Each structure stands twice: as structure tokens, then as C-alpha cells.
Structure 1
Amino acid sequence: MNFHRALPVVGTCMAITFFSPLTSAESRIDRQTETAVPRAQNLYGIGVGVLPKTSGSDEYRALVLPIINANYGDRFFINALQAGAWLVDSEDKRLRFGLSAEAKFGWDASKGDRTRGMDDRDFSIFVGPLLRWQTDYGTLNAQWTTDASGNSNGQQFQVQYIKSLLRSPNLRLNGLVGATWNSQKFNNYYFGVRNNEVNASRPFYRAGSGVEWQAGINGMMPVMTNHSLLFGAFITRLSDEQYDSPITETRIQPMAYVGYSIPF
């Protein structure tokens, strides 16, 4: 269910040149669009996510996961499967540069019709720099990550735009669009077919790099004092390199979740 190597270097130089660290100026952070999931305060809870069983699968699996969407000292953050720290900021904290680590699910090959008999793809941790720019029209995120677990040795570069669609006491709703460039090693790990995995209906396949596209909505609805119902749904359009894989069944990959947060 997330681009070019020069961009993180440029972003780092800009951050060092133009940002001022740990400023005491008044923060103008928009908490609703700070993350894809809208919020006004820290959220802690549990949820159920539904996602494809394997890469490109048209069947789905459900996972029960803890929900944490929180800031600590306005410097450290946890956002679902991502955690990190902001290192330098603009004075109003609407432009921030930091580092993050993000978990990416693998899959059990025995669960997919087209992957049965292949090796499993393992759970991985991707790490790298993150740039966030909040404007009056929404929030832009740019993130480059590399596979620190060494499973794929792949890289990703993601750009994401988050827009507030609705703000009210009874419902908060965000819209999201984004694009993710996946390196050749990333795509080949998750969508490739190795020599030892070939069979009569599954030829050898080496995937190249490519760009996938995402769009979705995320919402939060208060249900009682400090309790909230969280929900979201989005789709990913696979790149040509991913879609051409013999293990891919459908190009459009939907995902959804629902959760409940409680006071902490």
C-alpha cells in the first residue's frame, strides 16, 4: 500500500540555509492537515485495515492494528506506521524538515493464487528524510526512503497533497492525492518473479522502476467526549512495471480502514 536521489540533498541544503531550529515563534501548524488523518488532538486507539493479500492481488486480507497519531513536544511524531522527528523548522513551523521510519507490509505467498509456491516477501522498515510544507491551500509532503531492513534494498520517493474538505464539530474530512516513484529493486522485490519461482503459468519477470498514483479520503467523527471514530479509503493505480507482472491481477488496488480512538 509510497523518487530521485538528488531531491533529498537539495531539500537538506534548503532546510539548513533557510530554516531556524527550535524557534520560539508562534506555531501556525494546521493540525487537521498535518497528517492524512484529520485530528485536533493526539489519537490513540485500535483499528482494522483491509488491503490486498499480495502485490497486485484482487483478494483482500484484514489486519488489526494499533492506532497512534500523535506529537510529543511538537518535535517527535507517530503517524500510524510512520514515526520520526522534526529537526529544523521555519519560524511559524509551516515548513519543516526531519527524518522518519516507516513500516511496509510484506505478504505470505501461500495466500495468493498467483504467488503460491513463491518465497514470502518480508515486513520491512524504510527510513529517510521528510519535508512538509503547509500552505493556506493544503499540506504538501515529500519523502525519500530506503529499505533499511535490506530485504529489497529498494528506494521510494513520494509526494503527497492533503486538503481539508470539511471541518465541523461533528465531522472532519481530508482528501489526499499523491504519487510514489519506486526503484527497480523495490518493484522487483514485491512484483518480480525469480528463477526458482517460475512455473507453467508464472514466467520469470524482472520489474523495472515506475510511478504509482494514489487518491483517497480520511475522516474523524467524535462519538463521545474525547472518543473518535476514524475511517478512510483510498486507491492506488499501479505503474506499468507493476501491472505487467505475472502475479498482478488488477491494476487498481483499494485499501480501507476503520478505527476507534480513546483518551490516553
Structure 2
Amino acid sequence: MMNFSRLSRTTLSLVLACFSATAAAESRIDRQTETAVPRAQNLYGIGIGVLPKTSGSDEYRALVLPIINANYGDRFFVNALQAGAWLVDSDDQRLRFGLSAEAKFGWDASKGDRTRGMQDRDFSIFVGPLLRWQTDYGTLNAQWTTDASGNSNGQQFQLQFIKSLIRSPQLRLNGLIGATWNSQKFNDYYFGVRSNEVTANRPFYRADAGVEWQAGLNGVTPGFRDHSLLFGAFVTRLSQTQNDSPITQTRMQPMAYIGYSVPF
């Protein structure tokens, strides 16, 4: 006759062993480099971002933006202007594959010296697959997206490497480097000049595909009680075809932000 007491103990032991193995695997996720902004817990707040007024502009605009950097059930995530879900994981969850959607700001043509009289470039949503691979040296992200809003009908492919530079209770700081390939339609939408936008000082221009490069720093430091101060700055070096556009004023495009968040 089957010994149900022994069977129950064996089943319980197996369940506990599986739980322990899962917990150990999950503990290998590096939360600091999980996103470009260092994070040990979910963060919600508000911030101010400074970015070029138009494509290639040497003048800047300030935007007030909500700050959300959070996981939900360790399956869904929101990271600033990006949101998505992980669909497939390795056993230790250091290799993950999912889908994401990311916002891309357009611009008001009347705000730029070289774009005045052109049509505005609209706010867009780009969607596509995302791969994250965490190693002992840092986190590598690979992402392909396409313009789901249909404004540019363009595509992007981005590689990004995130490295933890400082880990302490007083400051967490990440460095990042990356490269983004933009399709011809993407570049032509944001950097091209259409025939009905031509002026004496702004010739017709059709942009080709190209690769731009990024580097930057993102940090978090404690604020009042459990609140946090977030900050970051990075620069993008435009591709040659973007830089050759008659609306481009400078090839180096800096961006920065600062924000205040609370845990949840």
C-alpha cells in the first residue's frame, strides 16, 4: 500500500526545492542595470527633461514628464517612455525576450529656426521585440521597433550596454553606450525636407538610412525619507545622413533630465 505520509513529505520537499531554485535564480537579476536608470524598487514621480527643439537643433525645450520605473509581477514593466511584457525567460531570468512599446517625441516646426514653415513631425509609438541579456559585466539590450502610428512608417534597431559604475546607499550610477540604426523612412520623416517645404535657404533633402551613437550617465540618490532624486545626461552623435540635412544645426545632440520619485 502506498505510504501517503511519505509521499506528501516527498512532494513538499520537491516543491520547496523548486521554490528555492527559482528564488536563487531570480536573485541573480541585477536590479541596478535592469534599466538604464538604476533601480532597487518601483519608482513613481515627476521630472523635467531637456531635449533639442527639433531634429538636429542647437536650441532646447523643457518638458514636464511623469516618472515611472517599475515591474508588475516581474512580467510587465514600465520604464520612462517604454512599456512592455517579458514573454520568455532563461531559468535564472538573466536572458529575457519580450515585446515593448516606446514613445517618440515629434516637434513643432514653428519652434525651430530652420524648420519654420515646415509641417510638424508628430508624436509616434514604436513597437517591437526586445531582448535583454544580463552578464557579470553589465546588461546588453537589443531592440527592433517599427512605427505603429504610421507617421514615418520607419524602423529602428538599437543595441545598448548598461554598466554599473557606483553602488552605494548614497549613490547608484549607471553608464551606458549604444548604437541605433534608423531606416530610410525614419530618417526622412524626421530629417528630410519635402518638396512643399523648400525655401531659398532650405533645399529639398531626402535622408537615407544611418547609424547614430549614444553615451550617457543615469543616477539615483536618496532624498527625503524613502524618496529618490533621479538625474541623467547623455549625448547622441547623429549619423552622416542626419547631419547632412539642411535642418540640422549640430551633429552632437545632448539631452538631460532631473526628477523626484517615491517608492511604491
Normalising by structure 1, what TM-score? 0.91
Q: Which residue of structure 2 aligns with residue 165 of structure 1?
A: 165
Aligned-partner residue type, residue 165 of structure 1? L
Distance in 2 (alpha carbons) for counterparts of 1:141 and 1:101: 15
Aligned-partner residue type, residue 173 of structure 1? L
Distance in 1 (alpha carbons) for counterparts of 2:251 and 2:192: 15
Q: Which residue of structure 2 aligns with residue 230 of structure 1?
A: 230
Q: Which residue of structure 1 aligns with residue 194 of structure 2?
A: 194
Distance in 2 (alpha carbons) for counterparts of 1:121 and 1:71: 32
Q: Alignment partner of 2:263: what SS?
A: coil
Aligned-partner residue type, residue 60 of structure 1? Y
Distance in 2 (alpha carbons) for counterparts of 1:240 and 1:170: 41
Aligned-partner residue type, residue 136 of structure 1? D
Alignment of 1:28-47 (within 5 A): 28-47=28-47
Instruction: Among all aligned residue pairs of Structure 1 and Structure 2, give the percentage whose two residues are the same amino acid.
Output: 86
Distance in 2 (alpha carbons) for counterparts of 1:177 and 1:263: 27
Distance in 1 (alpha carbons) for counterparts of 2:262 and 2:64: 16
Normalising by structure 2, what TM-score? 0.91
Q: Which residue of structure 1 aligns with residue 129 of structure 2?
A: 129
Distance in 1 (alpha carbons) for counterparts of 2:58 and 2:65: 22
**Residue 226 (structure 1) shift:** 1.7
CA radius of gyration, larger in: 2
Segments of structure 2 that go 5 or more residues without pairing to the other structure are 1-20
Q: Alignment partner of 2:186: what SS?
A: helix
Segments of structure 1 that go 5 or more residues without pairing to the other structure are 1-22
Q: Which residue of structure 2 aligns with residue 184 of structure 1?
A: 184
Distance in 1 (alpha carbons) for counterparts of 2:252 and 2:205: 20
Q: Alignment partner of 1:224: what SS?
A: coil
**Residue 39 (structure 1) shift:** 1.0
Deviations 1:51-72 (A, max 9, x none): 0000000000000000000000
Distance in 1 (alpha carbons) for counterparts of 2:201 and 2:151: 26
Distance in 2 (alpha carbons) for counterparts of 1:137 and 1:262: 29
Between Structure 1 and Structure 2, how many residues are aligned? 242
Q: Which residue of structure 1 aligns with residue 86 of structure 2?
A: 86
Distance in 2 (alpha carbons) for counterparts of 1:31 and 1:121: 36
Alignment of 1:1-264 (within 5 A): 24=22, 26-27=25-26, 28-264=28-264
Q: Deviating runs (4+, > 2 A) in structure 1?
A: 23-26
Distance in 1 (alpha carbons) for counterparts of 2:263 and 2:95: 29
Structure 1 vs Structure 2 CA RMSD:
0.9
| 8 Å contact from structure 2 (residues 41, 263) kept in 1 | no
**Residue 24 (structure 1) shift:** 4.0
